[in-house]
Structure 1
Amino acid sequence: MPARLPSWAWVSGLTLGAVAAVAVLAVQADQGPHPTVAATKPSASASAGAHPAPEASRPAAVPDGSGNGRRIVYSLGQKRVWLVDASDAARRTFTVWPGTVSPDPGTYTIGTRRDATTGSDGVQIEHIVYFGTQDGVWVAFSNAVDGSSPPPPASGAKTGGIRLHKADGEALWAFGTTGTTVAVVR
């Protein structure tokens, strides 16, 4: 009967072989081509089909003159909202679809919140956060339950709903509790 090698010898031999194979592969990889980072920006044609959200590339700065502390800032001109924490840092910013009636610039307070209802445009909406009135029309943030953008208003219709994307509506609902300040700026 031939002599058997002890198991430690087998394990040591296999380990030594594996280490040698990895070393050979590492040397070969080091001598091959290496990826590099392009130092140029993509051409306009390369990115023409892509429309990244402005938030993804460069967050818009909180407007000057919008106050201090924890607040919601709504810019009429930019059609944009910021959720600003107590340290004056924007935690989230996003674009919105304003209604036909806009609040005057100034400071408001969230007084009423409503889980869901039908908007004046006939769309099921949720996360309704009322913060003011203008020309007899309630002004509020909300989002469509199905996530759609608002339809064009009927001719002459007065709508005070500021419609948000669904995820933004959820974020504003969580942030904008009763008593939260809403700063409206031009």
Structure 2
Amino acid sequence: MARKSGGSAGVVVTGLTVAALAVIGFFAYQASAAQDRAEKPSASHSASPSSSPGSSSGDKGHKKEKSTALPKNSGTGERIVYALAERRVWLVGEDGRAERTFAVVPSTVSPKPGSYKVTSRSAHVTGSDGVPIEHVVRFTTVDGVTIGFSAALDGSMPDPDASHRTGGVREKREDGAALWKHAPVGTPVVVVR
């Protein structure tokens, strides 16, 4: 750095240097804080082993986490768990931990709680309600109605028409793709209340 002669010019240069360092320090602090926020998502944005985002903070967030917890007494090992009352499915790995959970829209005909196995699969078909569907994973039949998981090609998940007997448990397309990968024929399916 060049040395200035004269008292007041040296003070001005030193003052500008201090001010410049303060501005640089402030920007470095801001960048560091932004990085910390990016690495540590808040509770409102973090997700449990599910595809569902958490809700806002407070009791609502706690209730959301609790509602997505794998039901007790829902079997062991790799499986699919379907909770009728919660309208929710869990994909459980070999270690017994939920790898993914998601909401579903139940069919008008539901299976009784119990243990089943995937019996057949179809990549693309027309559902019993006339809607084109994909990733169909069937696991039982109730009174002549085949029950299985599927996703509508148009992404819709409307409540089924109670006047028609249908067996399709509808899920979002991305959830259907995940279930399809998780559930070859013979995969256990546990249905709970």
What is the TM-score when the length of structure 1 is the normalising length? 0.72
Deviation at 1:146, TM superposition (A): 1.4
Q: Which amino acid aligns with 1:55?
A: S
Deviation at 1:31, TM superposition (A): 11
- Structure 1, unpaired ranges of 5+: 1-19, 43-52
Distance 1:152 1:67 in 2: 29
Q: What is the identity percentage for the equivalent residue pairs of Structure 1 and Structure 2?
A: 47
SS of the equivalent of 1:55 reads coil
Matches within 5 A, 1:62-73: 62-73=70-81
Cross-structure match for 1:127: 135
1:62-92 per-position Cα deviation (integer Å, ceiling 9, x unaligned): 0011000000000001000000111111110
Instruction: Tell me which of 90, 106, 112 is aligned to 2:114.
Output: 106
Deviation at 1:27, TM superposition (A): 4.8
- Structure 2, unpaired ranges of 5+: 1-16, 38-42, 45-49, 55-63
Work out the number of aligned pairs and report it. 152
- Runs of 4+ aligned residues of structure 1 deviating over 6 Å after TM superposition are none
**Larger C-alpha radius of gyration, 1 or 2?**
1
Q: How large is the Cα RMSD of the aligned pairs?
A: 3.1
Is the Cα contact below 8 Å between 1:79 and 1:97 reproduced in 2? yes
Matches within 5 A, 1:41-120: 55-57=52-54, 58-59=64-65, 60-120=68-128
Distance 1:99 1:180 in 2: 21
Cross-structure match for 1:5: none
Instruction: Tell me which of 160, 172, 178 is aligned to 2:167.
Output: 160
